Amino acid sequence: MFPLQRGRRLRVNESIRSLVRETSLSPSDFMFPMFIAEGENVKVEIPSMPGIFRRSIDLTVEEVKELFDLGIRAVNIYVKVSENLKDNTGKEAWNPDGLMQQAIRAIKAACPEMIVMPDVALDPYSIYGHDGIITNGDVENDSTVDALVKMAVSHAEAGADFVAPSDMMDGRVLRLREGLDAAGFQNVGIMSYSAKYASAFYGPFRDALDSAPKEADVVVPKDKKTYQMDYANRIEAIKEALSDVEEGADMVMVKPGIAYLDIVREIKNTVHVPVTVYQVSGEYAMIKAASERGWLDHDKIMMEQLMCIKRSGANLISTYFAKEAAILLKK
């Protein structure tokens, strides 16, 4: 029998397609990752991430105002600290007058309604480029968690709306929740990097912060595979997300993005908190490089990937394309 149902009837023109479209994007779906640098009037482009800059606090504040006017409502901030402030304890991470704390205060003063989610991990502060404290040749879990609690509380004191632990230490969400509550910050949320894979997609990000593992005069892990997840694993990601929710996470994150959409959907189907997806630096750089060579249509592939991430179950997308996509959507 020739088909009575013809799917093409719903694809005849853009007006019909828009009526039945299952997924939509808006600027409020995006969070913009930002890199903060020391100094004033500093704006340095990251070579491996065209269009993305390390900015001093004064210029960061101006950019945040532009983002808010475009409808973007969240920023995820990272700092590039001076080499002389790095050690194996990460103590600069909870300095009340540190670069991160100054940046949080400045952003919230200039744009109070922008949601600020500072990164919680020790790699920008580590002489070894690892996310925690090195002891006996490995990243020591529990002492690192103690340091992360001090870091998170200092972020809350500066005015952060959420803290965003990206370290992948065991049990850190529970300790962060307890530490924040004890300090009187019950309303400061936790967006946990729950399923953060040991991925090769992070290269340009590590260029931006000089946070790749380094050779040292002591034994240190050569990579981050002892704490970030094996990209061969799926069930482990569900376990990690469930554990973080039980420990008090208000949101969970999957990182990287486009190559891990099966994980996003699995976690979305399992947990009952918002799911964030990080479209990471390598994913951004690949699109930029291919479009510069004329191999891809930049705007079309950008919007397709963002739509696919949202379709997979993301409530929020952390993406370096946030500003460009928001401008396009405004048109």
Q: Any idea which residues carry the catalytic annotation?
A: 196, 255
Please report, in range form, the residues annotated as the binding site for Mg(2+).
240
Residue positions counted in the chain: 331
Between the CA of residue 160 and those of 111, 187, 192, 302, what are the distances in Å? 12, 10, 15, 29
Alpha carbons 311 and 112: distance in angstroms, whole number? 30
Sole residue written with tokens 């048109």: 331
Give the count of beta carbons closer than 10 Å to the beta carbon of residue 286.
Answer: 15
Alpha carbons 127 and 136: distance in angstroms, whole number? 15
Please report, in range form, the residues annotated as the binding site.
240
Which amino acid makes up residue 314? A
Sole residue written with tokens 């929710």: 245
The alpha helices in the chain, defined as continuous H runs, are 14-20, 57-69, 99-110, 141-158, 172-182, 203-209, 235-247, 261-270, 281-292, 298-312, 322-330
